């Protein structure tokens, strides 16, 4: 099965990173969002990211221009009608995702594979509601998508081998390494990574060490490319809290309880880089 025309639902951090990666790797991409403003922001981020890749000599100016020429944006979800694959990267809200999948099932040809970039929701539930359960699969990318080499390919209980194999091949074509994971809260990476970040927030909350020292400890003592609090700011504190809440509720295990400081930061609107303030300050 050849997947050449790709649709991306959502122009946020993950959506624009996925759209950029697909366009750079030669695929025809349409990125959709519900309003023009997120699409404009998404395109600005893509241009900045491509600029950096040119600056680092990872791609040429011709690659940059070819990628942009292969990438279109729209507010109309009906534009997905000719896509071989649609990757949904909308908000992590089950009702929103189920709504998107129901619409896509009506709009797209029978052969279209519907993938979700969900970081922790039940893929099996999304597949069951989709109307085409065997052609639904998880493609979990990592932030920043253009730089991170992994894609978790998640099989819902209903995902067919044909669908799974097509997505595994596609992940390789995107220059990523696919890892096969069964449907389970947090899959592999978030189940380990986000509790580690939560523990770093507990260490800060308990006054055991300053943010800079917690991050330096993990960079120098465990060879992590970024400290856990800087990483939380990059992922988004709301996303980290969301993943902790899902792990806590789904496993019913107190080891996944979110740190009160993480909840307070989210309540205060200190969501990390995207709001200019998280555990660190950004911009101005
Ligand atoms: N496109 C987008 N962002 C880019 C980029 C590009 N082409 N090049 C760099 N960046 C970003 C970085 O976030 C950071 O921002 P800043 O400069 O504006 O402060 C900066 O650019 C770092 O630039 P560098 O040139 O120093 O980048 P490095 O080559 O040193 O690598 C990194 C940066 C790849 C982000 C590295 O630090 C890293 O691997 N960090 C860990 C990332 C990680 O763990 N991601 C997984 C998060 S979990 C997740 O996404 C799952 C979800 O479900 C929660």
Round to whole Å and give the CA distance between 229 and 278. 9
Q: Supply the residue whose CA is at minimum distance from atom 24 of ligand 1.
A: 52
Q: pLDDT band for position 2 (50/70/90)?
A: confident
- Minimal CA–CA distance to 26: which of 83, 74, 70, 79? 70
Work out the mean pLDDT of the chain and round it to a whole number. Answer: 97
Length of the chain in residues, anyone?
284
What pLDDT is stored for residue 1 in this prediction?
74
147 Cα: distance to centroid of ligand 1 (angstroms): 7
- Statement: residue 23 has pLDDT above 80: yes
List the Cα angle 10/235/158 in 5-degree steps.
Answer: 55
52 lines ligand 1 (CB under 6 A): yes
Round to whole Å and give the CA distance between 80 and 250. 33
Round to whole Å and give the CA distance between 264 and 234. 18
Round to whole Å and give the CA distance between 274 and 280. 12
CB-based contacts of 59, cutoff 8 Å, min separation 6: 24, 50, 53, 67
Instruction: State mean pLDDT over 30-50.
Output: 97
Round to whole Å and give the CA distance between 84 and 170. 12
Q: Which of 225, 227, 278, 284 to mutate to test the pocket of ligand 1 (most atoms within 8 A of CB)?
A: 225
187 lines ligand 1 (CB under 6 A): no
Nearest atom (ligand 1) to Cα of 53:
7
114 lines ligand 1 (CB under 6 A): no
119 is catalytic: yes
CA 35 to chain centre: 19
263 Cα: distance to centroid of ligand 1 (angstroms): 24
Nearest atom (ligand 1) to Cα of 239:
54
Predicted confidence (pLDDT) per residue in 190-219, tens digit: 999 999 999 999 999 999 999 999 999 999
Instruction: State mean pLDDT over 250-263.
Output: 98
Q: Are 102 and 131 in contact (CB under 8 A)?
A: yes
Q: pLDDT band for position 29 (50/70/90)?
A: very high
Q: Which two tokens stand for residue 190?
A: 């978030």
pTM (predicted TM-score): 0.95
Nearest atom (ligand 1) to Cα of 117:
53
Other beta carbons within 10 angstroms of residue 223's beta carbon come to: 7
- Minimal CA–CA distance to 163: which of 126, 129, 135? 135
Q: Are 126 and 118 in contact (CB under 8 A)?
A: yes
126 lines ligand 1 (CB under 6 A): no
Q: Which of 14, 147, 191, 223 to mutate to test the pocket of ligand 1 (most atoms within 8 A of CB)?
A: 147
- Statement: residue 284 has pLDDT above 80: no
DSSP string, 135-192: GEEEEE--SSTTT--EEEEEE-TT--HHHHHHHHHHHHHTT-EEEEEES-TTTTHHHH
Round to whole Å and give the CA distance between 268 and 253. 27
Q: Supply the residue whose CA is at minimum distance from atom 5 of ligand 1.
A: 49
29 lines ligand 1 (CB under 6 A): no
Q: Residue with structure tokens 């750079």?
A: 24
Q: pLDDT band for position 250 (50/70/90)?
A: very high
91 is catalytic: no
């Amino acid at each position: 099965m050849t997947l050449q025309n790709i649709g991306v639902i959502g122009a946020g951090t993950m959506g624009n990173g996925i759209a950029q990666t697909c366009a750079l790797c030669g695929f025809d991409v349409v990125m959709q969002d519900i309003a023009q403003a997120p699409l404009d922001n998404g395109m600005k981020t893509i241009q900045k990211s491509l600029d950096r890749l040119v600056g680092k000599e990872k791609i040429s100016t011709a690659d940059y221009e070819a990628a942009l020429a292969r990438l279109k944006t729209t507010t109309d979800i009906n534009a997905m009608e000719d896509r071989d694959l649609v990757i949904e990267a909308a908000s992590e809200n089950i009702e929103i995702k189920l709504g998107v999948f129901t619409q896509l099932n009506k709009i797209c040809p029978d052969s279209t594979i519907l993938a979700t970039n969900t970081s922790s929701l039940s893929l099996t539930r999304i597949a069951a509601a989709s109307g085409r359960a065997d052609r639904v699969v998880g493609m979990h990318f990592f932030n920043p998508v253009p730089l991170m080499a992994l894609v978790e390919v998640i099989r819902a209980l209903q995902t067919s081998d044909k669908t799974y194999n097509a997505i595994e091949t596609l992940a390789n074509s995107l220059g990523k390494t696919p890892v096969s994971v069964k449907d389970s809260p947090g899959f592999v990476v978030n189940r380990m990574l986000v509790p580690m970040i939560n523990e770093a927030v507990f260490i800060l909350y308990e006054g055991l060490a300053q943010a800079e020292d917690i991050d330096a400890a993990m960079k120098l003592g465990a060879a992590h490319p970024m400290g856990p609090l800087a990483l939380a700011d990059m992922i988004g504190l709301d996303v980290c809290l969301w993943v902790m809440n899902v792990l806590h509720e789904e496993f019913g295990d107190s080891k996944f309880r979110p740190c009160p400081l993480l909840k307070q930061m989210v309540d205060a609107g200190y969501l990390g880089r995207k709001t200019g303030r998280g555990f660190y300050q950004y911009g101005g």
